Amino acid sequence: MAKRSNSFACQSCGAVYGRWQGRCEACNGWNTIAEESTPAPLPGGTGPRLGGGRGKGRVFTLEGLAGASMDAPRVASGIAELDRVTGGGFVKGSVILLGGDPGIGKSTLVMQACGALAKAGHRVVYISGEEAVGQVRLRAERLMLSDAPVELAAETNVEDIIATLSQGPAPKLVIIDSIQTMWTEAVEAAPGTVSQVRGSAQMLIRYAKTSGTALILVGHVTKDGQIAGPRVVEHMVDAVASFEGDGAHHFRILRAVKNRFGPTDEIGVFEMTGAGLAEVPNPSSLFLAGRDTGSPGTAVFAAMEGTRPLLVEFQALVAPSSLGTSRRAVVGWDQNRLSMIIAVLEAHAGLKLGQYDVYLNVAGGLRINEPAADAAAAAALVSSLTGAPLPADRVYIGEVALTGALRPAAQMSARLKEAAKLGFASAFLPKAGIDSAGSSSMGLDAGGDVTDLVSGIAALAPRARRKVGSEQG
Ligand code: TYD
Ligand code: MG
């Protein structure tokens, strides 16, 4: 008999230790570690069995599998923005963890996917652990899906769920909303604890793999942006997608964080309307809508999100500081990156920003992670500082190095093409990237380093403010 061993798991991040300790070294949480008995091997699974196994795994060769019929490995939902993120549809037997803030629209998104698949004649099951069947139906009604043959259940016990699912043909898609509410009898812990989440997920994933059903686990995100509890699930699932957006805007962005069967840098853009999520096939025009072109402090960046170019507006406000220490605040971009740009502008372009508060915002609630946005952020800052509005029809692309040099970005021609399509006439880009720009109808203004960027903008400054600019310089 194998000895049943006990381990200690952090209840907030899932890190496992051999003995108890007061502080989790992985997430630095105090008093988060609790003793757990290692769950007994689950019956009827395909996973590894410890001890007492029958020792008869089947081994395949890739070559031998080549001829095997792999029928329709994907089921497309027909919602283009969703299929783009999954890599062309839900893969048979694959498991997606969908994370997002409460109220962002996760249940709405999965219900719309269910409705689309059910209407196409597939068996889909929506299991809600949070809402009663009546509430789910009300939402479906609002989404105009009340006539879709989606099977609904309000259940939280995983054994019951799997028994229910095993009746009839294997569903094409199963939704578990949410994984934090699930519990299994195999684990002695309260629902929502790490061991319950892990145990329940393990059983459901095993079910998906054996039945060939695509499974979506919905998970809530904690305030610090972690998928609470389900973080321990991240490595078990095939794909992790996060649904983002901020409460003040209607845009919602579905982003693939991990994807074993598709690209990880794709995004899907949706708009929350009164009747559910609407696809946004042309997000650039949406993010640029209502742009105030005549004012200083805004610059347009031609971003790439996966294979898709996307134009976004950077807004900056540089204002004299009334306090002893100046404030730097940023929304939609990296705070450290802003500090770096300010330091580079001070060190290499001679700007003095120490006495100024600096605010930077990416319009529309989008979050930009690309280093190539540096030039646009710098241009917005300099424009606000000098009071010179930037040309309304110009985009800025380029990474700023600590030496002040501008470095090229990938996929320059796709970015420029998108900008040209939206009526932009010129682009500021790094000298080193001009060859990769391809033949473009746009006017190209190449700069070697940040001083070129700053002097170009200072030259646009109105007379009164230019004095400030030259004092600065
Ligand atoms: P929901 O999908 O329940 O969020 P989550 O599952 O991520 O917690 O969506 C919640 C919000 O979406 C809620 O505030 C209402 C809004 N909403 C709409 O604006 N239009 C709609 O058609 C629906 C269904 C929801
Ligand atoms: Mg929900």
pLDDT in tens, 104-137: 999 999 999 999 999 999 999 999 999 999 999 9
> DSSP secondary structure string, 310-357?
EEEEEEEEEEE-SSSS--EEEESS-HHHHHHHHHHHHHHH----TTEE
Q: Is 275 among the domain residues?
A: yes
Buried b (16+ CB within 10 A) or exposed e, 53-79: eeeeeeeeeeeeeeeeeeeeebbbbeb
Write down the pLDDT at residue 48: 44
Buried b (16+ CB within 10 A) or exposed e, 301-338: bbbbbbebbbbbbbbbbbeeeeeeebeeebebbbeebb
Write down the pLDDT at residue 111: 95
- Judge if the beta carbon of residue 137 lies within 6 A of ligand 1: no
State whether 23 and 97 are in the same domain.
Answer: no
Residue 215 maps to which CATH number? Answer: 3.40.50.300
Q: Is 44 among the domain residues?
A: no
pLDDT in tens, 39-96: 544 444 444 444 444 566 778 777 777 766 555 588 999 899 999 899 889 999 999 9
Q: Is 60 among the domain residues?
A: no
Q: Which ligand is nearest to the CA of 138?
A: 1
State whether 246 and 327 are in the same domain.
Answer: no
State whether 129 and 255 are in the same domain.
Answer: yes
Span 411-432, mean pLDDT? 90
State whether 307 and 359 are in the same domain.
Answer: yes
State whether 94 and 193 are in the same domain.
Answer: yes
Write down the pLDDT at residue 277: 94
Q: What's the gap in Å between 230 CA and the centre of ligand 2?
A: 15
- Judge if the beta carbon of residue 135 lies within 6 A of ligand 1: no
Q: What's the gap in Å between 243 CA and the centre of ligand 1?
A: 12
Q: What's the gap in Å between 316 CA and the centre of ligand 2?
A: 35
Q: What's the gap in Å between 277 CA and the centre of ligand 1?
A: 9
- Judge if the beta carbon of residue 275 lies within 6 A of ligand 1: yes
State whether 150 and 197 are in the same domain.
Answer: yes
- Judge if the beta carbon of residue 104 lies within 6 A of ligand 1: yes
Using the predicted structure, report yes or no on whether residue 347 has a pLDDT greater than 50.
Answer: yes
Lowest mean pLDDT: which of 33-37, 155-159, 457-461? 33-37
Residue 416 maps to which CATH number? Answer: 3.30.230.10
State whether 453 and 311 are in the same domain.
Answer: yes
Per the structure, the complete domain to which residue 257 belongs is given by 74-281
Q: Which ligand is nearest to the CA of 110?
A: 1
> What mean pLDDT, rounded, does the chain reach?
85
State whether 146 and 294 are in the same domain.
Answer: no
